């Protein structure tokens, strides 16, 4: 098999902008932790501080003080534009897409957006598709598997070898092993990509 020629210099591009070329608001839109969810025509942005703001990208408005009082294109407006461009949230007027299976859903009250088939709740019993172990759901995180670090290994949930076959953009589900719930006062928590878990027929348990 012949080897492909090296790419032309003009083909080599960075996926992220040069931080030195960004304004302060632009840099914060790229780097700060935020959660964005679609309400149809508008979006709710939860900022790193925990405050919530409503962004209307069509009107170019945001309910934050920076936009309302200073008339600036704030970091929240910029973040919504980034998330629409990268496909993390749908464009205005379109239904959100399930973050796990890709099916179209209705507007969601809370991130992450999951369809009825993929939605799971705290206390639900699920099965690990890889091992068959029974797990109890503690929380569904709005963060992606490729954004969530496993402290013990220094890798993200998506980069863990046993998760290589699952979507890197999957929401992360925090669980405990069902066998540990009765044995330990403070069972160890684990993080799994949503697609690795399947619902069990058991009734939900209180944890």
Residue 189's pLDDT is what? 92
Residue 2's pLDDT is what? 46
Q: Round to whole Å and give the CA distance between 177 and 181.
A: 7
The better pLDDT of the pair 10, 56 is held by: 56
pLDDT 10s digits, 34-84? 888 888 889 999 888 889 999 999 999 999 999 999 888 999 999 999 989
Name residue 104's beta-bridge partners. Answer: 97
Residue 1's pLDDT is what? 43
Q: Among the ranges 100-114, 141-155, 157-171, which has the highest mean pLDDT value?
A: 157-171
Residue 90's pLDDT is what? 85
The better pLDDT of the pair 21, 102 is held by: 21
Q: Residue 88 pLDDT more than 90? A: no
Q: Among the ranges 8-17, 122-131, 193-202, which has the highest mean pLDDT value?
A: 122-131
Residue 114, number of CB atoms within 10 A of its CB: 21
Number of H helices, E strands in the chain: 4, 11
Handedness of CA 20, 24, 28, 30 (dihedral sign): negative
pLDDT 10s digits, 94-131? 877 787 787 777 665 556 668 888 889 999 999 999 99
- Residue 169 near residue 147 (C-beta atoms within 8 A): no
């Amino acid at each position: 098999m012949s080897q492909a020629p090296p790419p032309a210099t003009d083909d080599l591009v960075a996926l992220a902008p040069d931080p030195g070329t960004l304004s302060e608001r632009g840099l914060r839109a790229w780097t700060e932790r935020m959660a964005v969810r679609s309400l149809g025509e508008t979006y709710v942005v939860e900022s790193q501080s925990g405050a919530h703001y409503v962004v209307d990208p069509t009107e170019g408005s945001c309910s934050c003080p920076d936009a309302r009082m200073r008339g600036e294109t704030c970091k929240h407006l910029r973040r919504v534009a980034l998330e629409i461009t990268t496909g993390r949230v749908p464009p205005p007027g379109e239904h959100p897409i399930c973050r796990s299976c890709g099916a179209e859903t209705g507007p969601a009250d809370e991130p992450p957006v999951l369809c009825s088939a993929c939605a799971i709740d705290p206390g639900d019993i699920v099965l690990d598709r890889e091992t068959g172990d029974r797990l109890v759901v503690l929380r569904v995180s709005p963060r992606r598997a490729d954004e969530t670090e496993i402290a013990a290994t220094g890798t993200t949930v998506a980069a863990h070898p046993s998760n290589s076959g699952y979507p890197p953009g999957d929401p992360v589900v925090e669980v405990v092993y069902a066998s540990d719930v009765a044995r330990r006062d403070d069972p160890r928590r684990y993080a799994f990509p949503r697609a690795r878990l399947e619902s069990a027929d058991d009734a939900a348990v209180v944890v």
